[in-house]
Structure 1
Amino acid sequence: MANPHFKRILFFLQKRFYNAVSSSTNPNNSTKMVDRITDASYKRKTSIEICNSTSHLSFHIQYLTKACGLSLDSAMSASKKVTLVGKNKFHYDSVVSCFKSHNFSDTHIAQLIEKYPAVLQSRISSNVEPKIQFLIQNGFDGLLLPEFVVSAPLIFVRSLDAQLKPLIALLKDFVSSPEKILVSVRRGSWIVSADCEQLQQNLDYLIEQGVPKNRIADMFVWQPRCMFHVNDRVKYGVEKLKSMGISPSTPMFIHALRVILSLSESTWKRKRKIFESLGWSYDDFISTFIRNPLCLCCSEEKLRQSMDYFVNTIKIDKQSVIGHPKILMFSIEKRIEPRYRFWKILGERNLKRPAFIWMLDRPENGFIKHYVTKYSDTDPDLLQIYQKFKEKTISPEGEEDCI
């Protein structure tokens, strides 16, 4: 029986080159060709081209799977991004060896080439090696080096002097460690291609407005995209928050700025209307946002469901929600409903219980410790009851918390 991998490769090659021949023999392109060569010579030429191309592609897939450790599917996908040919094998081997000499594991190399297969064509002496040495000099040593490179392979298409050096210098001025810079890059690999001049303008503006440098560093780590908006957008967000009474020097400011910059004006208005539809005033909405800006990161559907559940099912008063907006971010299926049903059981058994909102805010382990196993001596079945509530309310694709 034929090897299934070989059959897949053969099918892939046949399909690719059938399309190539069909395209080249399109009637719209054939007239001039026929005028220049005979049908026989044309067919011979096409056959030679296809054989050569097939050979190149066969080498490409074989090299990526055997020498670089890619899966067959990844190698086929890479063939659409770059063409590797057998005559350049020595260079490709040299690139792989260069990474191995800097303690890149086989897994790191496979991940890097899968993301950016053209790295195999990069010049070692003028591209790969200088950038690796620069990263090492700036603290990206040990495991940090391959993880940074794999997270941001586009460093190999960006200028070391014009892009990478000024970017790392800017980041190091705010972010305290290479580890945190790596976290930031993992959350936005496009950072290595970002406009450094625009970033500098945003940094200068935020400092001028009174945002502490350590808070700006937190933004780099938590949500780097905020730092790379156009300057007018950042100014709009800062002024909007100041108009709400949120001072740039407060810890909450950067969380609010993250949310404001991530929402369009129309989305902001739609989310505000969800609150207003339940009788909240604009001031109520702003108070909720100021206390916990991240609650507006939830989708409109999630906010609508949570608000409806608290107001109409549990009958929690508006001021309690305003005072604890974090509860809007919890999953109804995974946290709110099973705890609410358990809270009612405690009441039915005349057991001491706090206001429901306090039970809701506890982490799962703390909740079980303080409100479930606490009564194990007198009511040993409470844990089993709570677990059943959890099982009944969580679907196979249960809703996640927004936090």
Structure 2
Amino acid sequence: MLQLQKHLLPFHRSASPIHLSLHRALLSAAAAASPAHFAVEDYLVTTCGLTEEQAAKAAKFISHCKSPSNADAVLAFLAGPALGLSKADIALLVSHDPRILNCSVEKTLRVRVDGFLSHGFTAAQIRSFVRRVPLVFRSFNINEKLGFWMPFLGSPEKFLLVVRRNFYLVTSDLDKVIKTNIQLLRESGLSVRDIAKMCVANPRLLTSNPNSVKAILVRADELGVPRNSLMFRQAVGSVAGLGRETMAAKLKFMGETLGWSDAEVSRAVKMSPVLLRCSREKLQRVSEFLTKVVGVDAKYILGRPTILMYSLERRLAPRHYVMKVLLEKGLMRKDQSFYTMVTVGDELFRSRYINSHKDVLPGLADAYTSACKGEIPA
């Protein structure tokens, strides 16, 4: 354009109307021949839905683009029938991975969607994956990762459940981290099925550094739960989120709260390793309810430590209310075990302790339902 202006300058100086007209025509033609400027940041804000701050950070990854044509095609595919991403989904995806706007729809994006579909995912499940880990949608090694996780976990639903709890599942090295941890757990006597179940409940167990997993297994051993036993899986899951000092502090608090000796605490945890997941507040509230309201002693609890894990509001208090009413009406033996009443399922509990007395106590069912909602009758 500059060179053109230099050539036209003498004509412009002559101020001839014909020359001026020619000058304007040539400038107009030169401008038409130049590609329109692609305002990247504006496009990211107005078309992709990013904030100005997000657009400023993302712009550098697509600043080389001379036109929005490829980005438009990508957005149309993302919002189209194959995926059906919402505007919010697209904004989330582009803000985390702006390079996706540079992708080929046919060679990259459609291939990725087809890869998910081939492993049993629906479009809705692919959208869930995008929302949880937008950063890796474009780069996720579908055949390698899903080829491993689908047989291991069994379904896209479980895979997405685990990913929602720990997105490192899709970024961790399969051989150096995931498979190494699985092998360590198998060597401790856990089956692949056990490990898969543990992964759903505690996915960090598989994505942690293998040395950390070794330390977890040592702490589980220290609880005295035999390997190859059904309880060992509970032991591993219970200590997985606890450091050595935290675990020691929990055991000490348990002994002080319930008046148990170290040996008794060890015995209780060996019987029910899940006690280690119980918060201090819950342990104190439940133990006080059992000893002061129900009237059982610490020895009674020691023989049935799992009773400490039940919800005070949704199970212990409502069922104790029913027990108290039945005792007052002479409809229950005085030596009835509260623990038995607590451990049975809700349907059996209602059938055995409520419905069987509906003629004598017609309001008991409603009172129990209210109690389960936290409305304990006076």
TM-score where L is the length of structure 2: 0.73
User: What residue is the counterpart of 1:69 in the other structure?
Assistant: none
5 Å-filtered alignment, 1:202-351, equals 202-277=181-256, 278-351=258-331
Stretches of structure 1 that go unaligned for 5 or more consecutive residues are 1-51, 66-73, 395-403
Q: Normalising by structure 1, report the TM-score.
A: 0.69
Deviation per CA, 1:24-55, whole angstroms, max 9, x where unpaired? xxxxxxxxxxxxxxxxxxxxxxxxxxxx9xx8
Distance 2:373 2:222 in 1: 46
**CA deviation map 1:227-274 (0-9, x unaligned):** 112112211222232343434433332222121111122221221122
The residue number in structure 1 matching 2:362 is: 380
- Who is 1:18 aligned against? none
Residue equivalent to 1:371: 353
| Counterpart Cα distance in 2 of 1:158 and 1:248 | 40
Q: What is the letter of the counterpart of residue 73 of structure 2? A: S
Q: 1:180 touches 1:221 (CA, 8 Å); kept in 2?
A: yes
Measured in 2, the distance between the counterparts of 1:220 and 1:81 equals: 36
Aligned to 2:26: none
What code does the residue aligned with 2:354 have?
A: V
CA contact (8 A) 2:250 2:276 kept: yes
Matched position secondary structure for 1:205: helix
Per-residue CA shift, 1:313-339, capped at 9, x if unaligned?
322233443444333223323332233
Q: Output the CA distance in 1 between the equivalents of 2:308 and 2:348.
A: 20
CA distance in 1, matches of 2:210, 2:326: 54
Which whole-Å CA distance do the structure 1 matches of 2:303 and 2:139 have between them?
A: 48
CA distance in 2, matches of 1:330, 1:210: 29
For the 8 Å contact 1:184–1:224, the answer to whether it is kept is yes
CA distance in 2, matches of 1:199, 1:119: 25
Q: Which piece of structure 1 moves more, 212-221 or 55-64?
A: 55-64
**2:331 corresponds to which letter in structure 1?**
L
Deviates more, 1:191-200 or 1:93-102: 93-102
Q: Please say if residues 272 and 285 of structure 1, whose CA atoms lie closer than 8 Å, have aligned partners that are also in contact.
A: yes
State the match for 1:171 in structure 2.
Answer: 149
CA shift, 1:295, in A, is 3.1
- Per the alignment, in what secondary structure is the counterpart of residue 378 of structure 1? coil
Q: 2:172: which partner in 1? A: 194
Structure 2 unmatched ranges of 5 or more: 1-36
Q: Distance in 2 between matches of 1:101 and 1:289?
A: 54
Q: CA 1:320/1:97 → structure 2, altered by over 3 Å: closer, same or farther?
A: farther
Contact 2:82 2:113 in 1 (8 A): no
Other structure's SS at 2:170 match? helix
* Alignment RMSD (CA, Å): 3.4
Q: Relative to 1, partners in 2 of residues 1:236 and 1:351: Cα closer, same or farther, differing over 3 Å?
A: same
* Number of aligned positions between the proteins: 330
Relative distance call for 1:210 and 1:380 in structure 2 (3 A) is closer
Q: Is the 8 A contact 2:355 2:365 kept in 1?
A: yes
The match for 1:63 is 47
Structure 1's 380 and 114: CA in aligned 2 closer, same or farther, altered over 3 A? Answer: same
Deviating more after overlay: 226-235 vs 250-259:
250-259
Distance 1:327 1:79, change over 3 A: farther
- Identical positions, percent: 24
